[in-house]
């Protein structure tokens, strides 16, 4: 129970990687807040892990601030924020619309900023905190038909590093996880495609599980990781490193 007494907020906690993070945090003794727009799924996850569901639209500063206030009002503390909510548009560059771009940036980049800004004052009061941003292998490499998604996730890495500098003196660490081919709802179609099996491209020869990312999140939430900040951990089965050695990045 390495997180006993801690309060963890997981945005996008209703499904996929976010749900796995909530389950993992709860298993380590944390009180978990499932923050999501999907009340039905979010409430179900919260009930499963004996946590709390809070509705939030991460693209809204008003909603993000209200979420943080509600959590602090309930528990009197916020120790961990996992900025996990994310969406992806896959279509050729010239088919990307203004709306596609705006949704990718507002959800995947602005959302983590707004939620962090809402939560940090409460962490600052306590003199400690852990912020964990869910980035992507797309933060490091160009991926086809994902220009807005890649731009947002690359920006999230830059924001992580800048936040680490600004918040370090407050006792708050800020790090990023970069999942690769994870068998989550976002990748369900690809995971079922045996002909183009992304999982087989990794050195470990399989798709990642949401739990693989969640386990890394637990590590970054622990007191033992207090000297790690501004860093990114690739949870990709070695895909980026292997592609880099082979000179295949960008394919």
To the nearest whole percent, how much of the chain has pLDDT over 90?
79
The parent domain of residue 175 ranges over: 7-186+208-237
Does 213 map to a domain?
yes
Q: Give 205's pLDDT tier (boundaries 50, 70, 90).
A: confident
Does 179 map to a domain?
yes
Task: Give the DSSP letter string of 97-153.
Answer: -HHHHHHHHIIIIIHHHHHHHHHHHHHHHHT-EEEEEE--GGGTS--TT-HHHHHHH
pLDDT at 251: 45
Does 192 map to a domain?
no
Does 28 map to a domain?
yes
The total number of structural domains that make up the chain: 1
Q: Give 191's pLDDT tier (boundaries 50, 70, 90).
A: very low
Does 89 map to a domain?
yes
To the nearest whole percent, how much of the chain has pLDDT over 70?
90
pLDDT in tens, 136-153: 998 988 888 899 999 999
Does 14 map to a domain?
yes
Q: What is the mean pLDDT of residues 184-189?
A: 57
Does 202 map to a domain?
no
* CATH number for the domain harbouring residue 20: 3.40.50.720
pLDDT in tens, 83-112: 999 999 999 999 999 999 999 999 999 999
pLDDT at 185: 59
Q: Helices 16-27 and 39-48 meet at what angle, rounded to 10?
A: 20
φ, ψ of residue 81 in degrees (nearest 5): -125, 115
Q: Give 244's pLDDT tier (boundaries 50, 70, 90).
A: low
Arithmetic mean of pLDDT over the chain: 91
Q: Does pTM surpass 0.85?
A: yes
pLDDT at 186: 58
Q: Measure CA of the first residue to CA of the last residue in the chain; give whole Å.
A: 43
Q: Helices 16-27 and 210-221 meet at what angle, rounded to 10?
A: 50
Catalytic positions, please?
149
Three-state SS letters, 40-57: HHHHHHHHHCCCEEEECC
Residue 161 in tokens: 């590093």
Does 226 map to a domain?
yes
- pLDDT of 119 above 50: yes
Q: Which residue has the higher pLDDT, 105 or 242?
A: 105
pLDDT in tens, 50-83: 999 999 999 999 999 999 999 999 999 999 999 9
- pLDDT of 248 above 90: no
């Amino acid at each position: 129970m390495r997180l006993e007494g801690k309060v963890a907020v997981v945005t996008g906690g209703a499904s996929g990687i976010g749900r796995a993070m909530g389950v993992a945090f709860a298993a380590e003794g944390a009180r978990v807040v499932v923050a999501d727009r999907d009340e039905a799924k979010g409430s179900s996850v919260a009930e499963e892990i004996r946590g709390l569901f809070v509705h939030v639209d991460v693209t809204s500063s008003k909603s993000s601030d209200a979420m943080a206030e509600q959590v602090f009002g309930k528990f009197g503390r916020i120790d961990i924020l996992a900025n996990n909510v994310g969406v992806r548009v896959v279509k050729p560059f010239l088919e990307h619309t203004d709306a596609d771009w705006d949704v990718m940036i507002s959800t995947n980049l602005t959302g983590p900023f707004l939620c962090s800004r809402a939560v940090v004052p409460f962490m600052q009061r306590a003199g400690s905190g852990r912020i964990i941003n869910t980035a992507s292998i797309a933060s490091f490499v160009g991926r086809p038909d994902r220009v807005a998604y890649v731009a947002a996730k690359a920006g999230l890495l830059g924001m992580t590093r800048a936040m680490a500098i600004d918040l370090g003196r407050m006792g708050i660490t800020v790090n990023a996880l970069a999942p690769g081919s994870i068998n989550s709802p976002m990748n369900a179609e690809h995971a079922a495609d045996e002909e183009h099996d992304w999982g087989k491209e990794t050195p470990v020869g399989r798709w990642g599980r949401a739990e693989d990312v969640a386990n890394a999140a637990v590590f970054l939430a622990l007191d033992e990781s207090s000297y790690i900040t501004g860093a990114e951990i690739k949870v990709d089965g070695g895909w980026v490193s292997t592609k880099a050695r082979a000179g295949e990045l960008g394919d």
